[in-house]
Chains A and B, each alone.
Chain A
Amino acid sequence: MIKLVRKLLNINEGEGLKVLLMFSYIFLAIASLLIVKPVRNSLFLSYFGVEKLPYAFIIVAVVAAVFTNFYSRYAKKIRLNILILYTTLSSIIILIVFWLLLYININKGWFYYIIYVWVALFGVITTSQFWLLANYVFNARQAKRLFGLIGAGAISGGIFGGYLTKFLAPVVGTNNLFFFCVVFLLICIVIMRKVWKQGARKTYTERIHQEKRIRRKLTSEKPFELLQKSQHLTYIAAIVGIGVIVANLVDYQFSAIASSIITDKDKLTAFFGFWLSNLSVASLLIQLLLTGRSLKIFGVTTSLFFLPFGILIGALSIIFDPRLWSAVFIKVCDGSFKQSIHKAGLELLALPLPTTLKNQGKAFIDVFIDSLATGIGGILLIIFTQQLGFSVRQISFVLIVFIVIWFYLIKAVKEEYINSFRTAIEKRSIDLQDQYINIQEASVLDNILKLLEGNNERQILYILQLVEDVKNERLIPYFKKLINHPSHEIKIQILRMIRNDEQKDFMKEVRELIHDPNLYVKVEAIRFIYSTSIDGKLELEKLLVDENINIRSAALLAATYEHRENREFRKTFPIKNLFDQFVDKFSETSYELKDIVFMKVILAKVIGISKVEKLYPFLKNLLLDDSIDVVREATMNAGSTRHKMFIPILMQYLIAHEIRKYARNALAEYENDAIAPLKNILENENEDYQLRLAIPKVLALIGTQQSVNLLLDNLAQEDLTLRFQILRALNRLRTNFPYLKFGENRIRNSILRETKIFGKICFYLSNKDLFEIYKNKNIQDTERAKKAVDLLFSLLNERLDNTLSRIFRLLGLKYSPADMYNAYRAITSNKPDLRANAVEFLENILDPNLKRIIIPITEYSTNTYSAEENRLKQKNGIFVELLKENDTWLKVCTIFCIAETNLKDYESEIRKLMRDQDTTVKETAEYALKRLKNRS
């Protein structure tokens, strides 16, 4: 039964619970919205009548624009689950406050305006947060398959909420309906937490990383410039804008007619609830029965005519018979077409736009154009109804004028759309992750199919990915042709697609591909045969014991993928048995070394994909194999098992040149489970130095707070190279995981520590005695002495640069990393203008305490460090101080300088360094002592 439902709803194994939770979440959220909306309308109209409605539109426009701007700026700084929790809790509190104020019968005009505006914001924020969460719960492929079903949850929630309002408003009273929303929202919180734990957290962490990278590539052009650049985008903006203005006029007509006929508040609430529900039902029916067909038959642009045409009929009805039925008709036409066919049409219309343009343009349209048009709608209503005294009926004439403009815009956008699509496919700029990709439209599909006949491999592959979910008979001849394409990537893609479509006609061609030289072509061919052939099971069994090791290995891999994705398969083919069978066969015959390596690589893959714990000891042996290829594969797969037994080996591989990259990624897959072992090495001074240096690179890949905390704990490491690596890792985490906390106090303390070092180096560099020491009369080889001093001088300058870099990296943990990087580049450039601008920028951005420390550094003001200078002068002199630094290379250069400038006073200090742990220090000290002795 469950299987049947899953098949019917296109839900794969393991997705059921997530779909159910997300469906329930949006069902309850939209049900709440459809309760508060009629309540709001009824309260507002009962208090003010329809005259004040245009003012409410204008206030909503202004507040929504300001709020959305504020929200989008701060929302990305907070982790999504926390953001949803806080906003939902705030909504619950606000609803309770509203109820209390209504209970004490506050009856003030401003209160109803507040309810009106808040409900508008609640609607926008709740739905946008839900879809954002859904994007992290499901990957792109799942989204394309499941968002329709989850969207049905929204529509049915709307139907439920509206009908509930209709039945309950007369029974419990309009004011008490808020409590139902409170209960629904509390359940939403519980669901959201469950969903987050179900895997959204991990995907969110990974995706934030990717999105950050993508965002860095995006240009930051001004939105109006974007509109100027693209005629296509301008038309979309105009269509959206005119739709919003018309919606406001329709809403006014609907509210005016309804409130003039129904005067009782509770009855009015019930009426609004009932019709909002009916509207959702109409929307659902259109979505299910008309949207897909219309887009397929008429195409995107023609489908856009449905909404204005429906409203046009409604407007004419009001002109001829301005009664309740015509008001309901126009409202249902607007609401139902807008949420179904028109929405899908607009999404598809934007599809061929380049991603950058589309992302920025869509955000601009959703926020700015929507608010602007709402405001214009409100102003127009005030002008027409209050200044010019238009009746509800006469408003229909205004509507007709706008609808004519609307028709013109749809006609104009059609040509742009086809041109953009053609260019986008040629440039491969359509985002494959876009869940709205739907290329069933005849004109679009024609363009795509033509390109499948071309010779450009990358383009063919791109188009195949684009049509992956399209079920259209016209594609079959192309599949027939491309299945023998020389590119194995294309063959693999075709095999996947025909397997998903269960295209049995391809069996002959696929059987031949079992002998393809590429391993993964073979794997996909075997998977096709298993899932499509009548004797699939039997055939797989035969292939698993095939004499050819390549076929046998491919069959084992195919079986492993099936084992991962197919529960039924797991019962029929226990992977441990297949694995043992493969190993037994492997031991029966003697193979060449390359074949042995190949089979071991396959076995490592099988363990990593299947994650069967009984096989882990075998993987451990593979990790210690003699072949680097086997070790590399085993390392990659050890990470995906996340079993602790592999951690010590993976740690050791962090310093093995050929596999360290894989070892880092493998350890990063353990996330917090790897933190303790990594900490033990990082903080142990007796551990291998190179291994310690490698630890921050692993931590940089683990985007968790524990990882950040461990790095912050070690920010005071004495060794400069290690400290720099730690800082780099923190910077990477800050950039890729901006929601993590980096402890402001610890950063401030570290900056203070670095500024002291900066001051000390400035003092060394400003010391004239040090740099004229080669003029000492006792020196025989002045040239060599000068070189030694120059070397020390160069080193101190390098150290100064490094310290400055560390300071700015630390600032990048508190402020925007990109801003701090740019400021650093400007400060270290030779251009005075750039430096001055950077200092000015820092003056404005830094908090007062940091400003006091940082600004003098940016100006290289050594005077600031007089205290440091005095402290040093009172002590043993510069060379002793330099020799005491915990910096091996600085020590080496100082010793060399002492030797070449014949400074015999420091002989005893150098003698002490003969016991230094570092061999280069010892070697140079030995050289220096000999050199000083020879000159005496």
Chain B
Amino acid sequence: MLTIVEKVLFLQEVDIFENTKTEDLSHIAAITDEISVKTDTDIYNAGDVSDSMYLVIEGKVRLHHNERQVMIAQVKDAFGTWALFDDEPRVVTATALEDSVLLKINREDFYDLLADHLQITLGIMKTLSKRLRSLVNRVRR
């Protein structure tokens, strides 16, 4: 099991949290669950209720819709991120490509955390707006 500091070190490298302060990351770390999944296990299926996001600590996870592969989440990648922001059902299925260790963040816990720590919300918004801006710039070019 990872300690809180180890989780923070890991979260520091996840891009959505790049503008979040280390102490705030420790609060996020405190609400994460470390889970292990065996190869070929479905973590969630398309159409499931979205209630958590995941971060890959070890291993690989395949995101696919039926047979069509959408992406492969590797170490430090996050998937199911939109679960944190909307109530829509999952659009893809996530299956472990190999034995993997994941950090799971439950949406309700995350909302509670955001309500208490405005700085975390601001940090995430900063990252999202940066992404949006770079996307707009790319489209302009």
**Contact partners of A924 in chain B: CB under 8 A:** 3-5
- When each residue 23-47 of chain B gets 1 if its CB lies under 8 Å from chain A and 0 otherwise, what string results? 1001000100000000000000000
A179 an interface residue at 8 Å Cβ cutoff? no
**Contact partners of A927 in chain B: CB under 8 A:** 3, 5
**Contact partners of A787 in chain B: CB under 8 A:** 9
Q: How far is the CB of A932 from chain B (nearest CB, A)?
A: 14
**Contact partners of B9 in chain A: CB under 8 A:** 787-788, 791
B8 an interface residue at 8 Å Cβ cutoff? yes
> Do A798 and B4 touch across chains, with their CB atoms under 8 A apart?
no
> Do A896 and B5 touch across chains, with their CB atoms under 8 A apart?
yes
Q: A791-B22, A798-B23, A920-B26 are in contact. Are A893 and B5 (CB under 8 A)?
A: yes
A795 an interface residue at 8 Å Cβ cutoff? yes
> Do A889 and B26 touch across chains, with their CB atoms under 8 A apart?
yes
A580 an interface residue at 8 Å Cβ cutoff? no
One of A657, A893, A920, A923 near B22 (C-beta < 8 A): A893
B65 an interface residue at 8 Å Cβ cutoff? no
Give Cα A787 to B22, complex, Å: 12
Q: A787-B9, A791-B9, A889-B26 are in contact. Are A798 and B112 (CB under 8 A)?
A: no
Give Cα A111 to B5, complex, Å: 79
- Which parts of A879-936 form the interface with B (CB within 8 Å)? 889, 892-893, 896, 920, 923-924, 927
B115 an interface residue at 8 Å Cβ cutoff? yes
B21 an interface residue at 8 Å Cβ cutoff? yes
Nearest chain A residue, comparing its CB with the CB of B108: A657
A566 an interface residue at 8 Å Cβ cutoff? no
- When each residue 772-809 of chain A gets 1 if its CB lies under 8 Å from chain B and 0 otherwise, what string results? 00000000000000011001001100100000000000
One of A657, A690, A889, A923 near B23 (C-beta < 8 A): A889
> Do A923 and B21 touch across chains, with their CB atoms under 8 A apart?
no
Q: A795-B22, A795-B23, A798-B21 are in contact. Are A892 and B5 (CB under 8 A)?
A: yes
- When each residue 1-22 of chain B gets 1 if its CB lies under 8 Å from chain A and 0 otherwise, what string results? 0011100110010000000011
Give Cα A690 to B115, complex, Å: 13
Nearest chain B residue, comparing its CB with the CB of A655: B116
**Contact partners of B22 in chain A: CB under 8 A:** 791, 794-795, 798, 889, 893
> Do B115 and A892 touch across chains, with their CB atoms under 8 A apart?
no
Q: How far is the CB of A806 from chain B (nearest CB, A)?
A: 14
Give Cα A927 to B23, complex, Å: 19
> Do A920 and B4 touch across chains, with their CB atoms under 8 A apart?
yes
Give Cα A794 to B12, complex, Å: 11
**Which of B3, B30, B115, B116 has the most A CB atoms < 10 Å from its CB?**
B3
| 13 new A-B contacts at CB < 8 Å, known A787-B9, A893-B5, A924-B5 | A657-B112, A788-B5, A791-B22, A794-B22, A798-B21, A889-B23, A889-B26, A892-B4, A892-B5, A923-B3, A923-B4, A924-B3, A924-B4
Task: Please report B residues at the A interface, Cβ cutoff 8 Å.
Answer: 3-5, 8-9, 12, 21-23, 26, 30, 112, 115-116
> Do A791 and B23 touch across chains, with their CB atoms under 8 A apart?
no
Q: How far is the CB of A910 from chain B (nearest CB, A)?
A: 14
Nearest chain A residue, comparing its CB with the CB of B29: A920
Nearest chain B residue, comparing its CB with the CB of A899: B5
**Contact partners of B115 in chain A: CB under 8 A:** 657
**Contact partners of A657 in chain B: CB under 8 A:** 112, 115
**Contact partners of B21 in chain A: CB under 8 A:** 798
Give Cα A892 to B23, complex, Å: 10
Supply 19 A–B pairs (Cβ within 8 Å), ascending by A: A657-B112, A657-B115, A690-B116, A791-B5, A791-B8, A794-B22, A798-B21, A892-B4, A892-B5, A892-B26, A896-B3, A920-B4, A920-B30, A923-B3, A923-B4, A924-B3, A924-B5, A927-B3, A927-B5
Q: How far is the CB of B109 from chain A (nearest CB, A)?
A: 11
Give Cα A788 to B22, complex, Å: 12
**Contact partners of B23 in chain A: CB under 8 A:** 795, 798, 889
Give Cα A281 to B12, complex, Å: 79
Nearest chain A residue, comparing its CB with the CB of B26: A889
- Which parts of A686-707 form the interface with B (CB within 8 Å)? 690
**Contact partners of B12 in chain A: CB under 8 A:** 791
**Contact partners of A920 in chain B: CB under 8 A:** 4, 26, 30
Q: How far is the CB of A731 from chain B (nearest CB, A)?
A: 14
Give Cα A681 to B115, complex, Å: 22
Q: How far is the CB of B118 from chain A (nearest CB, A)?
A: 10
Nearest chain A residue, comparing its CB with the CB of B12: A791
- Which parts of A95-136 form the interface with B (CB within 8 Å)? none
**Contact partners of A791 in chain B: CB under 8 A:** 5, 8-9, 12, 22
Nearest chain B residue, comparing its CB with the CB of A720: B23
- Which parts of A852-895 form the interface with B (CB within 8 Å)? 889, 892-893
Give Cα A924 to B2, complex, Å: 10
Closest 3 CB pairs of A and B: A896-B5, A889-B23, A927-B3
**Contact partners of A798 in chain B: CB under 8 A:** 21-23
Q: How far is the CB of A142 from chain B (nearest CB, A)?
A: 39
Give Cα A889 to B12, complex, Å: 15
**Contact partners of B30 in chain A: CB under 8 A:** 920
**Contact partners of B8 in chain A: CB under 8 A:** 791
Q: How far is the CB of A670 from chain B (nearest CB, A)?
A: 24
**Contact partners of A893 in chain B: CB under 8 A:** 5, 22
- When each residue 517-539 of chain A gets 1 if its CB lies under 8 Å from chain B and 0 otherwise, what string results? 00000000000000000000000
Nearest chain A residue, comparing its CB with the CB of B23: A889
Q: How far is the CB of A830 from chain B (nearest CB, A)?
A: 15
- Which parts of A286-306 form the interface with B (CB within 8 Å)? none
Q: How far is the CB of B43 from chain A (nearest CB, A)?
A: 27
**Contact partners of A795 in chain B: CB under 8 A:** 22-23
Give Cα A893 to B8, complex, Å: 10
Nearest chain B residue, comparing its CB with the CB of A793: B22
Q: How far is the CB of A825 from chain B (nearest CB, A)?
A: 14
**Contact partners of A892 in chain B: CB under 8 A:** 4-5, 26
- Which parts of A157-213 form the interface with B (CB within 8 Å)? none
Q: How far is the CB of A168 from chain B (nearest CB, A)?
A: 67
Give Cα A690 to B8, complex, Å: 22
**Which of B4, B8, B23 has the most A CB atoms < 10 Å from its CB?**
B23
Nearest chain B residue, comparing its CB with the CB of A794: B22
**Contact partners of B4 in chain A: CB under 8 A:** 892, 920, 923-924
Give Cα A896 to B116, complex, Å: 26
Give Cα A788 to B12, complex, Å: 12
**Contact partners of B26 in chain A: CB under 8 A:** 889, 892, 920
**Contact partners of B3 in chain A: CB under 8 A:** 896, 923-924, 927
Q: How far is the CB of A784 from chain B (nearest CB, A)?
A: 8
Q: How far is the CB of A367 from chain B (nearest CB, A)?
A: 41
Q: How far is the CB of B19 from chain A (nearest CB, A)?
A: 12
Q: How far is the CB of B1 from chain A (nearest CB, A)?
A: 10
Nearest chain A residue, comparing its CB with the CB of B27: A889
Q: How far is the CB of B78 from chain A (nearest CB, A)?
A: 19
- Which parts of A631-678 form the interface with B (CB within 8 Å)? 657
**Which of B3, B5, B21, B26 has the most A CB atoms < 10 Å from its CB?**
B5
Q: How far is the CB of A771 from chain B (nearest CB, A)?
A: 16
Nearest chain A residue, comparing its CB with the CB of B112: A657
- When each residue 220-258 of chain A gets 1 if its CB lies under 8 Å from chain B and 0 otherwise, what string results? 000000000000000000000000000000000000000
Q: How far is the CB of B82 from chain A (nearest CB, A)?
A: 23
Give Cα A795 to B3, complex, Å: 17
Give Cα A657 to B115, complex, Å: 8
- Which parts of A749-790 form the interface with B (CB within 8 Å)? 787-788
Give Cα A238 to B68, complex, Å: 76
Q: How far is the CB of B132 from chain A (nearest CB, A)?
A: 22
Give Cα A912 to B9, complex, Å: 25
**Contact partners of A896 in chain B: CB under 8 A:** 3, 5
Give Cα A787 to B9, complex, Å: 7
Give Cα A795 to B22, complex, Å: 6
Give Cα A893 to B23, complex, Å: 10
Give Cα A430 to B73, complex, Å: 56
Nearest chain A residue, comparing its CB with the CB of B13: A787
Give Cα A927 to B26, complex, Å: 16
Give Cα A690 to B27, complex, Å: 13
Q: How far is the CB of A690 from chain B (nearest CB, A)?
A: 8
**Which of B9, B12, B22, B112 has the most A CB atoms < 10 Å from its CB?**
B22
